[in-house]
Amino acid sequence: MVTRKKKNKIRDPERKKREALEATGTIVREDGFVAVTATRVARMIGMDPGMINKRFGSLNGLKASYIGLRDYRRAIFEKFMLPGTASAEELKLMFIEMMQCSLDQFIADLEMQGIVFEQVRVWNQLMYSLSVQLEKDMEPLLALSDPYFEGTGIDFRSLIYSMHGGFYYAVWHTRHNRCPFAGRDLSLTRDYQKFRDMMAHQIEFCWKEAALARSKLRWSKMTGILFIPGSFLTEKVRHVLNWLTD
């Protein structure tokens, strides 16, 4: 009688973790982040649901690992970071490129759309922690712009805030409602390019208006110093001051 030896299964915990993360991505693409459960992920990869806790600590641990793998926003902030010596023109172009890059990646990434939707859908500790970390990651970039807008009455930070919210909604609307909004459909190349260009125009406009406001502030300070009570500045002096404050 021949005794058959049982084949020893090669255990690869890391492979199972990768499979669980891939399954999570599939669920997010198909049904959204809210549909991710330990039971569904485990069933997709032939694993006992209890093993999710063993591999990741908890369902939230799985979700956190997945977000860390898929969320590209920190990488974008790091990519576009400039030194403190960057000029106003360099900073303006950086913000234009960063926002357009963010739009391009978001509209092409269904999993990222699912992550961001969960981030704004309902409060939970995982998504709150993600938001706090992203705020910290983006702060150095925004801090570079602050000196150029201080005292101008133009809130550049609010523009960046509204632009993020705007393109998130526009992408979700295009994907789920599949109809134009304000006569624009981001599924059409022509309309998408117009939307993308308008982001650049908005940033350009803010930086231009801030520069004009700073020029007026400098003019006001200089005329306050040079003004002689009881007399007026000559046209020649005004011309020189305008040249100095441009």
Residue type, 173: H
Residue 97 burial by Cβ neighbours in a 10 Å radius (0-12, 13-18, 19+): middle
Residue 183 lies in a domain: yes
Average pLDDT on 197-221 reads 91
Residue 127 has pLDDT above 60, yes or no: yes
Task: Report the domain count for the chain.
Answer: 2
Residue 105 burial by Cβ neighbours in a 10 Å radius (0-12, 13-18, 19+): middle
Average pLDDT on 33-54 reads 93
Does 60 lie in the same domain as 158? no
Give the pLDDT score at 227. 52
Does 193 lie in the same domain as 150? yes
Residue 7 lies in a domain: no
Does 157 lie in the same domain as 219? yes
Does 126 lie in the same domain as 65? no
Domain that holds residue 42: 13-70
Give the pLDDT score at 219. 74
Residue 2 lies in a domain: no
pLDDT band at 40 (very low <50, low <70, confident <90, very high): very high
For the chain, how far is it from start to end, CA to CA, in angstroms?
99
Average pLDDT on 56-68 reads 95
Residue 233 has pLDDT above 80, yes or no: no
Residue 158 lies in a domain: yes
Give the pLDDT score at 19. 95
Give the pLDDT score at 220. 72
Residue 8 lies in a domain: no
Residue 191 lies in a domain: yes
Mean pLDDT over each residue of the chain, to the nearest integer: 89
CA distances (Å), origin 185, targets 96, 153, 166, 191, 195: 21, 33, 14, 6, 9
Average pLDDT on 36-40 reads 95
Does 161 lie in the same domain as 204? yes
Residue 218 lies in a domain: yes
Does 165 lie in the same domain as 99? yes
Does 104 lie in the same domain as 35? no
Does 65 lie in the same domain as 94? no
Looking at 25, 44, 70, the residue that finishes a domain is: 70
Residue 5 lies in a domain: no
Does 178 lie in the same domain as 240? yes
Does 39 lie in the same domain as 28? yes
Give the pLDDT score at 108. 96
Reported as a single tens digit per residue, the pLDDT across 105-122 is 999 999 999 999 999 998
Q: Name the 3-class secondary structure at 181.
A: strand
Three-point CA angle 239, 244, 246, nearest 5°: 95
pLDDT band at 196 (very low <50, low <70, confident <90, very high): very high
In the chain, the percentage of residues whose pLDDT exceeds 90 is: 78
Its pTM stands at 0.82
Give the pLDDT score at 230. 44
Count Cα atoms within 13 angstroms, Cβ side, for 112. 16
Q: The CATH number of the domain where 44 resides is what?
A: 1.10.10
Does 101 lie in the same domain as 17? no
Does 179 lie in the same domain as 123? yes
